[in-house]
A and B are shown apart, each in its own frame.
Chain A
Amino acid sequence: MKSLRRYLDKIKPQFEKGGKYEKLHSTFDAFETFLFVPPHTTRTGSHIRDSIDMKRTMSVVVLALIPALLFGIWNVGHQHFLSHALEASFLDKIAFGAWKVLPIVVVSYVVGLGIEFAFAQYRGHEVNEGFLVTGMLIPLVLPPDIPLWMVAVATAFSVIIGKEVFGGTGMNILNPALTARAFLFFAYPAFMSGDKVWIAEKADTYSGATPLAEAALGIGDGTVNFTYSFMDMLMGNIPGSIGETSSVAILIGAVILIATGVGSWRIIVSTVLGTVAMGLLCNVLSLNAYMDVPFYYHLVMGGFAFGAVFMATDPVTAAQTEKGKWIYGFLIGVLIVLVRVFNPAYPEGVMLAILLMNIAAPLIDHYIVQGNIKRRAKRSKKNPELEGKLSAV
């Protein structure tokens, strides 16, 4: 490692101000700090600092996404061969899935990081690690047959319009990965909905309907006929977005996020509670076939698990106060069921529910902050006996 360090030290001056590659300073810095934690020491304030940094935090999230990614790769292959009624080995499925999924991951990272590096250079700050997570989230919420150019366009849209125009990581209002998905959903609906897109290179005769689509259909038909059992939906061997199908794989990620404290358990728990509450209410009212779908199906259908664990918990776009997180998550849960059941034109409610609550999160925080302010103001009035004894500063 010493020779690598020496090499970096040797080429570093070329990337500093006045150097030959001055314009690549942020890029060099990003790679250098990726390889080596910088030797910077504290000057003021606390002389010692926690070992955690943004790279560690973000890499924990990426780690938590790995089970969903691996399962997704297998499932893309599995669904493909299933639709063609072909027998295929485990490795064949993995190979096909990897061939479909990895290019999407690569395009997402290359386009997103390229833009991030350019903005960091332009603004003169270090490259933020936020996109390490976003770059993985985007592929996992897309259907496997998505054209790569669309991935590139959506990623560019989400990074520039969703994040950088607000000031970059930490300043954005909407979750960037969901912004990318929403962009594709509204710009190219044919590639983002219907029965065709959820299985890669599907055989024409095979139905590729997702449970959400079937549930929505049930409203007209008067009864909901699921092709897949509850267990299938839980395990995830069903058609769907690459990383969203398996609640079990996502649950492993949830355990990692909660155990390390990187993801907010408050948001995850309250999102589940909100969905259960609204699902139960639907079951009780029971006005149409979709409302009869048992509430616990909502927890395994579509992108619920993925959204609750990885999207709703995005600390930048979620509520930032601890009490606010409870409200924020609960309302996401409520909205998920509302959009799904009462607005069948959009079978997937998770994306819209989280984006809507992203916008409402500052409002929730505002009321929590006002509560704190009012408590302080009240306390200040409670001390009349001291008046007179006190003089101003």
Chain B
Amino acid sequence: MPKTIKITKGLDIKLVGTAEKTISEIRPDSFALKPTDFIGVFPRMLVKEGDEVSAGTPLFVDKYRENIVFTAPHSGKVLEVKRGDKRALLEIRMETAASNKQIDFEPANPLSLSKEQITEKLLKSGLWTLIRQRPYNIIANPDTMPKAIFVSAFDTAPLAPDYDLIVRGRGDDFQTGINVLKGLTKGKVNLGIGAKTQAPEFLNVKNAEVTLFKGPHPAGNVGIHIHHLDAINKGEVVWVVQMQDVITIGYLFNKGVISPELIVALAGSEVQKPRYYKTIRGGCIKKMVEGNVTNNELRYISGNVLTGTKIRPDNYLSYYDSMVTVIPEGNYSEFLGWALPGFNKFSASRSFPSFLTPNKEYALDTNIHGGERAYVMTGKFEKVLPMDILPLQLIKSIIYEDIDLMENLGIYEVEPEDFALVEFVDTSKTNIQVLIRRGLEIMRKEMN
């Protein structure tokens, strides 16, 4: 039995439209890398429109850390380098080649390589970008030694993909990926599993310490695992890698090439056949959603409903996302909506009858359900944040930019995703995740 940590605070939001456990294979017509997915990266382009690229061809580098290379996940032709205001790079769109040409980075056994050799291979292939550091959630600095590396083998967010399904048949790559991570730290590689985790790939993993986290969302968030196992103190760094990205890294060391596949869940109340798709990283979601959604006005989200990014139906998956959620837009006026009993409405508070039916699934939309207010209610945030952190006090310290207080109250330990539920339950309807990111960015600039 692995070590068990019981999470009591949190909230499971049950939504309609869980993905059915079947995987369809599609090949999107195009795919894209969005530099906006990477915090603090200033891209310098290495390709131009019309260039042919292979899987593994460098597309751009970070202007301030030129060893951080971003490579194409699949071969194709650069269609467009899309820029926005002040020429900010938004998207590098590529047409998917019919046959995937892959650059050979040569297979290797990570257990017989040094940290430097592993790092070099990852940097060269562009897969280093899959390793991020906390605090700040930026791409890890290859020259540092993290005190530990964390991987979460389950996702508790609403409608989240089932990692047991994603890892099935890819256990070798997953184990190799864990071995790679083991070679990168003198500390532990921690694998967090959930109460529902059954996959032997996770339960019998080697070179990692398994911890069982029981409880409601955000129990699956890696930030919660870090907080309970090895919290980040000032000056310390831990690295985090997403479960499927561990597989991608393992694939590189086993086969020598970049894995062309990414398993993505398509879910949400407006999807007619919610299920899993095998696509490519950054793939266009058009083929997944076309003809597979209702006719309502819809919100397409790369990621889950709590932390994902709004995208268009012909747009692209974000780099680190392995799910697409489609829910109704909520741009309607509701007569006396705050006063009516609201039998179809969901609330974590007991001022709506939803608490009487804890297992009911809801089709929630994007309506904010109210106007922005000053913080009045207290004690609500604490109920959904399973950390020894005072959420309201931390939020306020960010608002008035008191750097010392932010540090003292534990800003290094948090990420916006850990505060997604805090934002969800907020009676005052403020954008707390944006605020947390702002606080982290203030600290990052202050420390550099």
Q: Are A48 and B305 in contact, CB atoms less than 8 angstroms apart?
A: yes
B267 to chain A minimum Cβ distance, whole angstroms, is 13
Q: Are B371 and A51 in contact, CB atoms less than 8 angstroms apart?
A: no
Report the nearest A residue to B338, measured CB to CB: A55
A56 to chain B minimum Cβ distance, whole angstroms, is 5
Cα-based distance from A335 to B366 in the complex (angstroms)? 47
In this assembly, does A146 line the interface, its C-beta being within 8 Å of a C-beta of chain B?
no
Cα-based distance from A262 to B349 in the complex (angstroms)? 8
In this assembly, does A204 line the interface, its C-beta being within 8 Å of a C-beta of chain B?
no
Report the nearest B residue to A372, measured CB to CB: B390
In this assembly, does A150 line the interface, its C-beta being within 8 Å of a C-beta of chain B?
no
Q: Are A45 and B432 in contact, CB atoms less than 8 angstroms apart?
A: yes
Given contacts A47-B299, A48-B365, contact A316 B376 (CB under 8 A): yes
In chain B, positions 85-130 with a C-beta closer than 8 Å to chain A are none
In chain B, positions 225-242 with a C-beta closer than 8 Å to chain A are 231, 233-237
Q: Are A322 and B330 in contact, CB atoms less than 8 angstroms apart?
A: no
B368 to chain A minimum Cβ distance, whole angstroms, is 5
Residue-wise, chain A 294-320 has the 8 Å CB interface mask toward B (1 for contact) of 000000000000000000000110101
Which chain A residues border B425 with CB–CB below 8 Å? 50, 52
In chain A, positions 259-307 with a C-beta closer than 8 Å to chain B are 259-262, 264, 266
Residue-wise, chain B 409-436 has the 8 Å CB interface mask toward A (1 for contact) of 1100000100011011111110111100
Q: Are A260 and B433 in contact, CB atoms less than 8 angstroms apart?
A: no
Which chain B residues border A44 with CB–CB below 8 Å? 431, 433-434
Report the nearest B residue to A316, measured CB to CB: B376
Q: Are A386 and B147 in contact, CB atoms less than 8 angstroms apart?
A: yes
Q: Are A47 and B145 in contact, CB atoms less than 8 angstroms apart?
A: no
Report the nearest A residue to B374, measured CB to CB: A170
In chain A, positions 309-363 with a C-beta closer than 8 Å to chain B are 315-316, 318, 320-322, 325
In this assembly, does B51 line the interface, its C-beta being within 8 Å of a C-beta of chain A?
no
Residue-wise, chain B 355-375 has the 8 Å CB interface mask toward A (1 for contact) of 000000000111111111111
Q: Which of A40, A170, A262 contacts B373 (CB 8 A)?
A: A170
Residue-wise, chain B 50-78 has the 8 Å CB interface mask toward A (1 for contact) of 00000000000000000000000000000
Report the nearest B residue to A318, measured CB to CB: B378
Given contacts A50-B425, A261-B350, contact A128 B373 (CB under 8 A): yes
In this assembly, does A1 line the interface, its C-beta being within 8 Å of a C-beta of chain B?
yes
Total B residues in contact with A, Cβ cutoff 8 Å:
90
Q: Are A315 and B410 in contact, CB atoms less than 8 angstroms apart?
A: no
Which chain A residues border B158 with CB–CB below 8 Å? 48
In this assembly, does B310 line the interface, its C-beta being within 8 Å of a C-beta of chain A?
yes
Interface-side segment among B250-258, B314-322, B339-347: B339-347
In this assembly, does B296 line the interface, its C-beta being within 8 Å of a C-beta of chain A?
no
Given contacts A46-B423, A54-B376, contact A261 B351 (CB under 8 A): yes
Q: Are B333 and A37 in contact, CB atoms less than 8 angstroms apart?
A: yes
Residue-wise, chain B 386-411 has the 8 Å CB interface mask toward A (1 for contact) of 00111011000000000000001110
Q: Are A54 and B233 in contact, CB atoms less than 8 angstroms apart?
A: no
Q: Which of A37, A52, A259, A379 contacts B352 (CB 8 A)?
A: A52
In this assembly, does B348 line the interface, its C-beta being within 8 Å of a C-beta of chain A?
yes
In this assembly, does B37 line the interface, its C-beta being within 8 Å of a C-beta of chain A?
no
Which chain A residues border B434 with CB–CB below 8 Å? 44-45
B37 to chain A minimum Cβ distance, whole angstroms, is 15
- Most chain-B CB neighbours within 10 Å: which of A1, A39, A171? A39
B391 to chain A minimum Cβ distance, whole angstroms, is 10
Cα-based distance from A315 to B379 in the complex (angstroms)? 9
Q: Which of B305, B373, B448 contacts A46 (CB 8 A)?
A: B305
Q: Are B370 and A169 in contact, CB atoms less than 8 angstroms apart?
A: no
In this assembly, does A124 line the interface, its C-beta being within 8 Å of a C-beta of chain B?
no
Q: Are B338 and A5 in contact, CB atoms less than 8 angstroms apart?
A: no
A353 to chain B minimum Cβ distance, whole angstroms, is 20
Report the nearest B residue to A40, measured CB to CB: B368
Q: Are B330 and A389 in contact, CB atoms less than 8 angstroms apart?
A: no
B360 to chain A minimum Cβ distance, whole angstroms, is 14
A74 to chain B minimum Cβ distance, whole angstroms, is 26
In this assembly, does A391 line the interface, its C-beta being within 8 Å of a C-beta of chain B?
yes
In this assembly, does A205 line the interface, its C-beta being within 8 Å of a C-beta of chain B?
no
Cα-based distance from A322 to B388 in the complex (angstroms)? 12
Report the nearest A residue to B332, measured CB to CB: A39
In this assembly, does A223 line the interface, its C-beta being within 8 Å of a C-beta of chain B?
no
Cα-based distance from A145 to B50 in the complex (angstroms)? 86
Q: How large is the interface on A (under 10, 10 to 19, 20 to 34, 35 or more residues)?
A: 35 or more
In this assembly, does A91 line the interface, its C-beta being within 8 Å of a C-beta of chain B?
no
A311 to chain B minimum Cβ distance, whole angstroms, is 15
Which chain B residues border A45 with CB–CB below 8 Å? 307, 416, 420, 423, 431-434
B413 to chain A minimum Cβ distance, whole angstroms, is 9
Q: Are A264 and B346 in contact, CB atoms less than 8 angstroms apart?
A: no
In this assembly, does A43 line the interface, its C-beta being within 8 Å of a C-beta of chain B?
yes
In this assembly, does B377 line the interface, its C-beta being within 8 Å of a C-beta of chain A?
yes
Q: Are B349 and A52 in contact, CB atoms less than 8 angstroms apart?
A: yes
Q: Are A51 and B350 in contact, CB atoms less than 8 angstroms apart?
A: no
In this assembly, does B1 line the interface, its C-beta being within 8 Å of a C-beta of chain A?
no
Cα-based distance from A364 to B73 in the complex (angstroms)? 55
In chain A, positions 353-393 with a C-beta closer than 8 Å to chain B are 365, 368-369, 372-373, 375-377, 379-380, 383, 386, 389-393
A138 to chain B minimum Cβ distance, whole angstroms, is 18
Cα-based distance from A384 to B157 in the complex (angstroms)? 36
B66 to chain A minimum Cβ distance, whole angstroms, is 19
Q: Are A51 and B342 in contact, CB atoms less than 8 angstroms apart?
A: yes
Q: Are B370 and A380 in contact, CB atoms less than 8 angstroms apart?
A: no
Report the nearest B residue to A37, measured CB to CB: B337
In chain A, positions 5-64 with a C-beta closer than 8 Å to chain B are 5, 33, 35-57, 59-60
Cα-based distance from A393 to B390 in the complex (angstroms)? 25
In this assembly, does A126 line the interface, its C-beta being within 8 Å of a C-beta of chain B?
yes
Q: Are B329 and A372 in contact, CB atoms less than 8 angstroms apart?
A: no
B100 to chain A minimum Cβ distance, whole angstroms, is 33
Q: Are B147 and A33 in contact, CB atoms less than 8 angstroms apart?
A: no
Cα-based distance from A5 to B337 in the complex (angstroms)? 14
Cα-based distance from A52 to B333 in the complex (angstroms)? 15
In this assembly, does B301 line the interface, its C-beta being within 8 Å of a C-beta of chain A?
yes
Which chain B residues border A56 with CB–CB below 8 Å? 338-339, 351-352, 370
Q: Which of B143, B307, B331, B370 contacts A391 (CB 8 A)?
A: B143
- Most chain-A CB neighbours within 10 Å: which of B305, B337, B347, B379? B379
In this assembly, does A168 line the interface, its C-beta being within 8 Å of a C-beta of chain B?
yes
Given contacts A37-B338, A318-B378, A322-B382, contact A126 B305 (CB under 8 A): no
Q: Would you list the 3 A-B pairs with minimal beta carbon distance, nearest first?
A: A53-B370, A170-B374, A37-B337
10 A-B pairs in the complex with CB atoms less than 8 angstroms apart: A44-B433, A45-B307, A45-B416, A49-B426, A50-B348, A51-B346, A56-B370, A376-B233, A389-B186, A391-B143
Chain B contacts to A: CB under 8 angstroms:
13, 133, 135-136, 141, 143-145, 147, 158, 186-187, 231, 233-237, 299, 301, 305-308, 310, 325, 327, 329-339, 342, 345-352, 354, 364-380, 382, 388-390, 392-393, 408-410, 416, 420-421, 423-429, 431-434, 447-448
